């Protein structure tokens, strides 16, 4: 069943922004979130094994969520803000 044309992104720039932000931004957010999580845990080896599986699921869902806003710049702003907040949390976490 083909998609309804009114729901598709018409601008190639917005489509490229959504794809790039979902791919790269989703990976950055996933890695920062798990680096913060590993800092809080004492035993790193057991956490890494389980985080590999959960990390892929989180990254895939963040790639899908990148296509929800209609504008690609909004997606970029949301992912960039989330990355900055997580990076600051990673730096200030003891």
Whether 17 maps to a domain, the answer reads: no
How many domains does the chain fold into?
1
Residues 11-51: tens digit of each pLDDT: 888 889 999 999 999 999 999 998 888 888 776 667 777 77
Confidence of residue 9 (pLDDT cuts 50, 70, 90): low
pLDDT in tens, 45-89: 677 777 788 889 999 999 999 988 888 899 999 999 999 999 999
Q: Quick check: is 15 in a domain?
A: no
What value, to the nearest 5°, has the Cα angle with vertex 63 and ends 37 and 61? 60
Helix, strand, coil share (%) of the chain residues, nearest 5: 80, 0, 20
**Domain contains 1:** no
Domain assignment present for 53: yes
Residue 83 in tokens: 């990355």
Range of the domain at 70: 26-92
Neighbours of 72 (CB within 10 A): 22
CB 37 within 8 A of CB 51: yes
Q: Does the residue 7 lie in any domain? A: no
Query: What spatial distance separates the first Cα and last Cα of the chain, rounded to whole Å?
Result: 52
Query: In terms of pTM, does the model score above 0.75?
Result: yes
């Amino acid at each position: 069943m083909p998609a309804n044309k009114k729901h598709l992104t018409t601008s190639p720039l917005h489509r490229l922004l959504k794809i790039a932000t979902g791919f790269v931004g989703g990976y950055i957010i996933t890695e920062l979130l798990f680096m913060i999580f590993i800092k809080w845990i004492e035993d790193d080896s057991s956490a890494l094994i389980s985080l590999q599986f959960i990390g892929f699921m989180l990254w895939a869902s963040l790639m899908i969520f990148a296509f929800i806003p209609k504008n690609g710049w909004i997606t970029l702003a949301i992912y960039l803000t989330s990355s900055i907040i997580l990076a600051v949390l990673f730096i200030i976490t003891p």
